[in-house]
Amino acid sequence: MAQKQSDKKVIDKLRDDNHYYGKLGREYLSNSDIKNLQPSTFKQYGKIEPDNENFVKGRYFHQLILEPSKVKDFPIWTETETRGKAYKEFLEEKGLDFVLKESEAILIQDMAKEIVSRNDQLTELLMNKEALREEPIVGEIFGHPFKAKADLVTQGIVVDLKTTSAKTIEEFVWLGKNKYFYDTQAFIYQTLFNKSMTFVAIDKARKEYGNTGEFYHEIYVCPVSEETILQGKQKVERAVQMYENYHGKDKKEDIRNVIYNLNF
C-alpha cells in the first residue's frame, strides 16, 4: 500500500519510542495487541505491561546489535550480585522496574558478539551498513491502521532478532507459531513492509563442543514460510474481529456482559 504523506510524518514521529509506545502509537494496532485480542485475553486489550526482566534483557540484546551507540546509557547494577535493599533503592531513585546485574549484562554481551561474528553470511546480514535499523511503518490491514517496527530491513528482507530458551530449532519454530505469535508478527510485518521476513534467534543456554572446553550458543536463521504467513493472517483476521466486536468505535458487544460457557 502506498504511503500517504501523512503516513510519512507519522513514521518519522514513531522513530521515537516515546511516540511509538505513547498516545500516537496507541492509535494503531500492532502485534502486541493481537496477543490481547484472543478469545481468552480480549478483556485485557489496551493494558500496558510493566517493564520486566525479559523485556529489559531483550532490549539490551537488541541495543547491543542495532544501536550500540546508546549502550553506554543503559542502566546496569554493578554494586552487588544480589538484588537487595540497595538495589531496590536504586530502582526507586531511577524510577525503574528492573535493572540488569553486571554479570547478566556480560552474558548478553557475549551472546550479541557471537551472533554477529560466528558466521560470515550472518555477519554480512546483521552488520550491513546500508540496513535500516529500528525502522517503523504504518499501514492498513483488514480495514484498520496497524504499526510495526522492524529490527532490520536489509538485503530485501525484514529481519527480527530473538533470544530463546528453546532446546532445538524445531521447538523454537513450534513455540513461535503456537505460543509467542511470531506467525502473526510475520504476517503483519510482511504485509506492511511488502518484503519477506526472517527470524534470527540465539539460544540463551551455552553448549559445549564435545569435551573441548569451547562453548557456543545455538543460532537459528528461520525464513518464514507461506504456510506460516497464512496461519498468521487467519489469526490476525480473527483478532481484528474481536477488536471490532468489543473495542472498536462501533463495537457490537460490551465485554462486561461476557461470560464463558463450556463443557468439561
Residue 194 φ/ψ region, left for φ over 0, alpha for ψ in the -120 to 50 degree band, beta for the rest: left
Neighbours of 189 (CB within 10 A): 26
What is the model's pLDDT at position 200? 97
CB 228 within 8 Å of CB 185: no
Ordered alpha helix ranges (H), 116-181 = 120-126, 169-178
What is the model's pLDDT at position 10? 95
What is the model's pLDDT at position 116? 95
CB 125 within 8 Å of CB 159: yes
pLDDT tens for the chain, 264 residues long, are 344 447 889 999 999 999 999 999 999 999 999 999 999 999 999 888 888 899 999 999 999 999 999 999 999 999 999 999 999 999 999 999 999 999 999 999 999 999 999 999 999 999 999 999 999 999 999 999 999 999 999 999 999 999 999 989 999 999 999 999 999 999 999 999 999 999 999 999 999 999 999 999 999 999 999 999 999 999 999 999 999 999 988 898 999 999 988 898
What is the model's pLDDT at position 4? 47
